[in-house]
Amino acid sequence: MIELPNTPSFRLDGKRAFVTGATSGIGLGCAVALAEQGAFVTLVARNKTNLAATAAAFKLKNLECEILPLDISDVAAVEAELNARGAYNILVNCAGLARHSPATQTSYEDFDAVMGLNLRGAYFLTRAIAKKLIAEGLSGSLINMSSQMGHVGGVDRAVYCASKHAVEGFTKAMAVEFGPDNIRINTICPTFIRTPLGEQTLKNPKALKWVTDKIKLGRIGEVDDIMGAVIYLASDASALVTGTALLVDGGWTAD
């Protein structure tokens, strides 16, 4: 008799997830996806009013969550908060910032703001989550929301591309370092998604044509295009996946 293999579970029951940028766009979609698979989700964002409204919506769907007002760019506050809490099995860092301009016109302020959140904030958040897992002897799956622009370049996007290429770099290095502790670290790299951040570009007809011409599937991404990807990377279905980038880009980077 042939013994059939068992499909790994995508369920996240009993897992604790820390999701930043959780009140809108991709972050909200990821938080919902994890909660629907059974995770207890800590919703993290700066705006207390939006957090409360998001938590109320979760409770209407019987999804387990709590809220945590926190600015990820304030690395000292982030580390203090995480040091005071139990370990999180899952991190999904969706907090991000884009300030586009020609490279010749990049201001010091814009450079520091983008790097402060997209790189510095992401780095020390990921490190803090990992340190707590190691201290408690637990495994985990840590996911940073990168971008297709972490693999290619784009006009007026030198600073944003730099920040996301750097995220890809530290993700690989941390995967090597924390692998022996059974902590996996990966990125998800979306193309343009219809979110408040994405609409900054998509509302421009010329830019919209540029985007749709580059996406081989011929359409703009939606938040639910990312939700399946985050469940996969957070769950045991991806137990041998670390130090890699999951491109959800409609084929943008295929050529």
Identity at 89, one-letter amino acid code: N
> Catalytic residue at 232?
no
Helices (H), 122-250: 122-136, 158-178, 199-202, 205-214, 224-234
pTM attached to this predicted model: 0.96
Distance CA 173, CA 158 (A): 23
Question: 16-254 falls under which CATH superfamily?
Answer: NAD(P)-binding Rossmann-like Domain (3.40.50.720)
Q: Which of 88, 123, 160, 232 is catalytic?
A: 160
In a structure prediction context, what are the per-residue pLDDT tens digits for the chain, which is 255 residues long? Answer: 999 999 999 999 999 999 999 999 999 999 999 999 999 999 999 999 999 999 999 999 999 999 999 999 999 999 999 999 999 999 999 999 989 999 999 999 999 999 999 999 999 999 999 999 999 999 999 999 999 999 999 989 999 999 999 999 999 999 999 999 999 999 999 999 998 777 778 888 888 898 999 999 999 999 999 999 999 999 999 999 999 999 999 999 998
CA–CA distance, 52 with 221 (Å, rounded to integer): 27
φ, ψ for residue 50, nearest 5 deg: -65, -35
The full set of domain ranges for the chain reads: 16-254
